Structure formats: C-alpha cells, structure tokens
C-alpha cells in the first residue's frame, strides 16, 4: 500500500508520496498509473519528497511520467551559496515596573466546544494543516515554473510571487512551532528547505 496526499491549487491537483514508500518502484510508470484520470487516482502530476543531506528534496513527475526538476549542478551551487542566517539583535532590557495591585478575577465563562460541528479526521487521512502546506508549496512551484499551470500553459515565472509563498510557509513554521505533530513538522521542514534551495538556484541562474 502506498500512502499519498492529494492537493489542489490554481486549477492543478498533485499527488504527494514519500520516497521511502516507493523504494524499488519504477517512478515514471507509477506517476503515469496514479495520475491517470480513468484508471488511477487522477492528478496533473506526482511530487516525490524525501530527506536529503541538505534537509529535504522534491522530485516532480508530470502526468505522462516525465521528470521535471532543476539541474543538479544548480542545486549544488545553491547549497554552496546559501547565505548564513543573520544573528538576532538583542532586545534592550526593560526597566522594572512596580507590580500593579491585583484586581478581582471575573468568573470564567463556560467553555465552548468550537469543534463540535467539525467531522473527526479519519485514520490515514492527511491533516488539514498538511493540505494547507502542500497547497502553498504547489503554488510556489508553479510560480517558479517547476510545474505547469493548465489554465495558463505559457505563464511566465514570477519569482516575487514564489518568494511570497515561501515566506508564508516560513511564517507558518514560526507561528506553529511546538504545536505540530511530528509528521506535520517533518513535512513542513522538508518542503520549506527544498523550496528555498530551488529558489536560490533559480535566482542565481537568472543573474
């Protein structure tokens, strides 16, 4: 059994599969079978993601089984030219303020179950957070020209829009730190690392 997640964005739909789940399988044939609209699951492409020495890697297969990824030399150049993270600026220490007098605490209101109308997630289904991450990653890949947009096949690349999608994923990683499951954290880290490497490689090539 092969585990997968399906994501939709801007008229495209993609299947995401972990590489360890398909070791020894003909990936081009697998992409054709899974993406077929009649005999398979149906999708515009298959995205294979897996850990790599740099953090994570993504391989994109079109529905016809053809592979579409950046040149390996560009990935190596991106890894060498990746800028070091800036050191955070220390914040000034605030002066001690006199402690305010405690005010009487109001009685807590009864808790409301905000999830009472939401259906429970079924075992084996991708979480809503994973679907959001995959949707944003798919948009970034389309803006960089890594996958085709069926609504606009000749649409030019938009590196500024791709950078915005990557920044949104980085913001999600910062705001949700400590609140994700292990699977959600690994997926977000791997996809974000790979998108950053591909963005740096393409930006360096265009200069």
Of the CATH numbers 3.40.50.620, 3.40.50.2300, 3.10.310.10, 3.40.366.10, which one belongs to the domain with range 5-69? 3.10.310.10
pTM tops 0.85, yes or no:
no
pLDDT for res 80: 67
How many whole angstroms separate alpha carbon 143 and alpha carbon 149? 9
Q: What's the rounded Cα separation, in Å, for the pair 180 and 173?
A: 9
pLDDT on residue 167: 92
Domain ranges, ordered by start, for the chain: 5-69
List, for the chain, all residue ranges whose pLDDT scores fall below the cut of 70.
9-11, 51-56, 69-85, 92-94, 96, 110-126, 150-153, 206-207
pLDDT tens digits for range 54-97: 656 777 888 888 877 654 544 555 566 666 667 777 776 667 67
How many other C-beta atoms lie within 10 A of the C-beta of residue 15? 25
What is the rounded distance in angstroms from the CA atom of residue 133 to the CA atom of residue 117?
24
């Amino acid at each position: 059994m092969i585990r997968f997640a399906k994501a939709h964005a801007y008229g495209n739909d993609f299947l995401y599969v972990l590489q360890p789940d398909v070791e020894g399988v003909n990936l081009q044939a697998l992409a054709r079978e899974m993406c077929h609209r009649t005999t398979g699951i149906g999708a515009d492409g298959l995205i294979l993601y897996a850990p790599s020495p740099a953090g994570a890697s993504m391989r994109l297969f079109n529905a016809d089984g053809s592979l579409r990824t950046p040149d390996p030399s560009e990935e190596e150049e991106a890894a060498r030219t990746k800028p070091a993270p800036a050191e955070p600026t220390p914040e000034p220490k605030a002066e001690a303020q006199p402690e305010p007098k405690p005010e009487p605490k109001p009685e807590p209101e009864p808790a409301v179950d905000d999830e009472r109308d939401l259906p429970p997630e079924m075992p084996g289904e991708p979480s809503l957070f994973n679907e959001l991450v995959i949707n944003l990653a798919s948009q970034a890949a389309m803006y960089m020209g890594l996958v085709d947009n069926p609504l606009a096949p000749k649409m030019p690349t938009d590196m500024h829009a791709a950078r915005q999608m990557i920044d949104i994923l980085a913001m999600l990683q910062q705001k949700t730190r400590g609140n994700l499951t292990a699977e959600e954290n690994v997926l977000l880290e791997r996809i974000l690392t790979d998108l950053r490497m591909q963005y740096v490689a393409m930006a360096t090539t265009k200069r």
